Amino acid sequence: MKILITGGAGFIASHIQDAYLKLGHQVAVLDNLLSGTKQNLNAKGAFYEVDIRSPQVKEVFEDFKPEVISHHAAQMDVRKSVADPVYDCQVNGIGTLNLLENAREFGVKKVVFASSGGAIYGEQEKFPADENHSMNPASPYGITKLLGEKYLRFYQDTYGIDAVALRYGNVYGPRQNPHGEAGVVAIFITKLLKGEIPTINGDGLQTRDYVFVEDVVQANELALGTEVKGIFNVGTGVETNVVEIYESIAKTLGNPKPATHGPAKAGEQKRSVISFAKIQKDLSWTPKFSLAEGIKRTVQFFQSKV
C-alpha cells in the first residue's frame, strides 16, 4: 500500500515509518519539522516538508497518491494547549480537517488517527477506562483530539473512508523528544545523564498509563487490516505515578538522588489509565514490554547518544 504518515519525522511516527517500510509498503512522510527531525527519517521513504494546515498538502496528495493516511502530526503539548488554545485548534482541528478534505478528494481508503487515551476521557470515573467511558477532556488538547475523532467518523459515514482511532496511553521510548514539557521519561533520562536533578511538577502522584513505543507500532501495523475500523485504546492497563517513573529511571542509571518538586501545572489530570480489552479481543493486541524493560531500552538509546 501507499501510506502517507503525517508527523513522520517525530518520535512515534518515525518508528511506524520504519515498520511499514519493513512490511513492504510504499511510505511517504509529511512533516513541517517543527518538533520532528530529519535524523528520524528512513531514507527508503519519500519526504515532504509541509505543514498539515498548508494548501501545499494538496500537492503532496497529487504527487504521492496515498491509499492510507497515518495521521500523527499534532500539537501534542497539553500545557501549550492551555496557554494557547487557538494555536492548538489550528493545528489539531483545522490541520486534521485539511488532511481529511484531501483524503476525500483523492480517494484515500483509510485514515489511522493518533488519538489520546488519557486527554479525551478527562478525570476518570472508573479505572481503567474503556472506549465507552464518558469523555470530558480537561484541556484544549483533549478537546481537539476528540474533535479529530468526530471528523473521522463524519468522513467515514459520509464518504466511506475507513477510520481507525488509536487512543494512546503515555507513549515513551527511543527517539522521544527530551525538550519541552511532553515526554517525562525522556526528560528525566536526559537530565540525569547530564548530571542534573529533574523537577517533578506537584507531588508527583499524578498517574499515567505508560506504553512502550514498539507496542504502539504493533497496534499501527494491525490497524492496516482490511476490516479494521473503530476506536481502540492502546495502553497497558497499569497505573504508574511520576515519582515511580523517576525512581525506575534513577535505579536503571544507578543514580539514587531524589528529584526536586515544583508547583503543579494547570490542565493536568490526576489519574489516567486505560483498558486494552477491546483491542486484545478484536485485534489480538497485548502490550509485550513491561515498564522496566521499556525504560531499560529507552535509557540505552539515550546513553548511545551521549
- The residue from 20, 48, 121, 141 that is catalytic is 141
141 is catalytic: yes
Contacts of 35 (CB under 8 A, 6+ apart): 10, 76, 177, 180
Q: Which of 139, 156, 135 is nearest to 75 (CA)?
A: 139
Residue 80 DSSP class = H
- CA 209-12-233 angle, 5° bins: 40
| DSSP H or E segment with residue 234 | strand 230-234
Alpha carbon distance 43, 25 (integer Å)? 14
Record the cell numbers describing residue 76, joined without a space: 501534542
Q: Which of 294, 302, 296 is nearest to 215 (CA)?
A: 294
* CB-count burial class (<10 Å; 0-12, 13-18, 19+) for 186: buried
Active site residues per annotation: 141
